[in-house]
Structure 1
Amino acid sequence: MKLFLTFLFALVSVCINAQDLEKLSEEVTEEGIALYRSEMASWYGTDVVKENYKNMDNIGGYFSYLDDVPKCIFFSKQNKVVATISFPTNYNPDNAKVDLSERDFTPTEMDYFTIRQKALTRINNDTIFKRYNNTNFNLVPIIKKNSKKVYVLTGASVNNVVIFGNDYLLTFNNKSEIENVEKLHKGIIVHDVGNNSKGADASGVHSHVLENWQQMTPTDICTLMLYQKLTGWETYTTISKKYASIWNNKSNKAFVMKTENFRKIANYQLEKNKKSENKDTQDSNK
């Protein structure tokens, strides 16, 4: 009876862990895609505004958000909206709706503007934020229900470079006051993809060491989706002492598992490959 109970408890524990990992996978995927949608609107919104707005020196900043469709808002140095770019779901700039009329922020836009500006002030006054040559910070405000956040990503200002890390998360309370600032990676990871060979086996990897971010981060997913056409990576893996996370470009989903299980699978595959190579060698010598 004791043996049966021990087995039962172990089975329940495995099921609970599997459910927890599945939930973690879904949460990080959802957040990463939300970041990607915002950044896509900002990327293309910037191009559209440069083509249509004649007084770029008047621009004080921009942010994007989802309002039935993705929108990118550009505001003046007087904090007035001067350009509203609305995109279809495919983000085709040719099909974007451009509104260059000056107006006040809507209540929703004011919430985004407020946390963005507070994040920018914190970035300029807090030494936790590191700046590197040939890079710039991208601020991505995300508001969901009672959750207010600003992610800070580091983007390359040169071609054929993809950057992970040197990213941050600022969380706000319901009064739009900063409650916490944290790093999502310990350092910066730079991938030179200029000579990258694309294909079904194209992939990349980096490690995570921060205790609070053992899994793949939403910023990792956002970066992978933004640069997929450039890198050709079909999969990408992050590894920490606790979790191994695998991003699959075809399914647009992160899969999180325990690192110990990941290593067992990897070792099994390695042994299988070795046996196959040895068999091929033996066959060729016959």
Structure 2
Amino acid sequence: MNQILTILAVLFTFPVTAQNPEKFSKEINEEGIALYHSEMTSWNGTDIFIENYKNRENIGGYFSYLDEGIPKCIFFSKSQKVIGTISFPANYNPKDAQIDLSERDFTPHETEYFTIRQNALKRMQNDSIFKIYKDTNLNIVPLIRNKVKKVYVLTATSAGNAVIFGNDYLITFDNENQVKNVEKLHNSMIVQKINDEKIGHTISGMHSHVIDKWQAITPTDICTLMLYQKFTGWESYTTISKKFVSIWNSDNNLVIMKTEDFKGMTEKMLKNKKGKSKTEKEEE
């Protein structure tokens, strides 16, 4: 483990672009951070709204978005009216949230979020690609960035001591907000424990990617790592595939390397370390 941590430390001393031949780590990282902001807003917004809104049967759903830099969680009724707007400061502190429970119409921008969310939900209810496992639920996360409309679907768990990766999906839309494509980002669901019976508290984690289109770390991976970092304390995380090794750290730095380059570099570093140890032993 110490050897792995040494390799990670060396990697993060180099510019990301030098390790990223495809030059897509920045885009993946930014998308993951955007997902995190949306999910963090929804996590906190849901708790606040449920505590303050009493007519539970009237709730139709929710979504979150950035409104001129302000994170907002929007709750709507079954009659498609906004019934709650929870606004947060940049630190997402629930104590500083602004609560507006007045009923109103969607803004034009909110209408776009609502439309793709509902169209995604309709597809989820009628497409067998979507799976739900025991003690989990699927979170719908609409995202509009650079005029591109997407919905990510993430798996969340009600079980403690676990972080869920995988069983996630990406839904894209055409100009009419109709579903254009649905795809899986991972081949399966990966459950990683925060505290392991044999080794105690885990300090990092790793999983593999096999889907050809998603060989690097995914935005959903980054979102999940950021959401649970305060519970896991993980300083780094790695995904491995035939093409790429992706290494994320808790400072939200991301390095993506070709797998062959990563293997060559680690073998060289370990060989040099072994040679150095042998020399030091001979000098004793």
- Whether the 8 Å CA contact 1:160–1:193 is kept in 2: the answer is yes
**What corresponds to 1:144 in structure 2?**
145
Instruction: Report the secondary structure of 1:245's partner residue.
Output: strand
Instruction: Report the secondary structure of 1:162's partner residue.
Output: strand
Instruction: Report the secondary structure of 2:57's partner residue.
Output: helix
**What corresponds to 2:176 in structure 1?**
175
- Given residue 234 of structure 2, which amino acid in structure 1 is its aligned partner? W
Say whether 1:85 aligns with 2:86: yes
Separation in 1, partners of 2:74, 2:86: 7
**What corresponds to 2:262 in structure 1?**
262
Alpha-carbon distance, 1:62 to partner: 0.5
- Whether the 8 Å CA contact 2:20–2:257 is kept in 1: the answer is no
**What corresponds to 1:197 in structure 2?**
201
Alignment: residue pair count: 264
Separation in 1, partners of 2:90, 2:280: 49
Give a deviation string over 1:165-222, Cα, whole Å, max 9, x none: 0000000011101111000001111001134536xxx221111110100111000000
Separation in 2, partners of 1:276, 1:20: 29
Q: Which moved more, 1:140-149 or 1:262-271?
A: 262-271
| TM-score between the two structures when normalised by the length of structure 1 | 0.87
Instruction: Report the secondary structure of 1:229's partner residue.
Output: helix
Separation in 2, partners of 1:271, 1:135: 44
Percent identity, aligned pairs only?
Answer: 60
Alpha-carbon distance, 1:19 to partner: 9.0
Alpha-carbon distance, 1:146 to partner: 2.6
**What corresponds to 1:206 in structure 2?**
207
Give a deviation string over 1:124-175, Cα, whole Å, max 9, x none: 1101111100111011101123310000000111111100000000000111
**What corresponds to 2:52 in structure 1?**
52
- Whether the 8 Å CA contact 1:164–1:223 is kept in 2: the answer is yes
> Gaps (5+ residues) in structure 2?
1-16
Give a deviation string over 1:36-60, Cα, whole Å, max 9, x none: 0000000000111122111222211
Separation in 2, partners of 1:19, 1:243: 11
Structure 1 consecutive aligned stretches of length 4 or more whose deviation exceeds 2 Å: 17-23, 194-198, 268-283
Q: 1:89 to 1:255 in 2, by over 3 A?
A: same
- Given residue 269 of structure 2, which amino acid in structure 1 is its aligned partner? Q
CA RMSD of aligned residues (A): 2.0
Separation in 1, partners of 2:121, 2:266: 43
Instruction: Report the secondary structure of 1:227's partner residue.
Output: helix
Alpha-carbon distance, 1:249 to partner: 1.2
Instruction: Report the secondary structure of 1:214's partner residue.
Output: coil
| TM-score between the two structures when normalised by the length of structure 2 | 0.87
Give a deviation string over 1:239-268, Cα, whole Å, max 9, x none: 111111111212x12211111111112223
Q: Which moved more, 1:22-31 or 1:94-103?
A: 22-31
Of structures 1 and 2, the larger Rg is shown by 1
1:214-225 aligned at under 5 Å gives the runs 214-225=215-226
1:211-250 aligned at under 5 Å gives the runs 211-250=212-251
Separation in 1, partners of 2:29, 2:22: 11
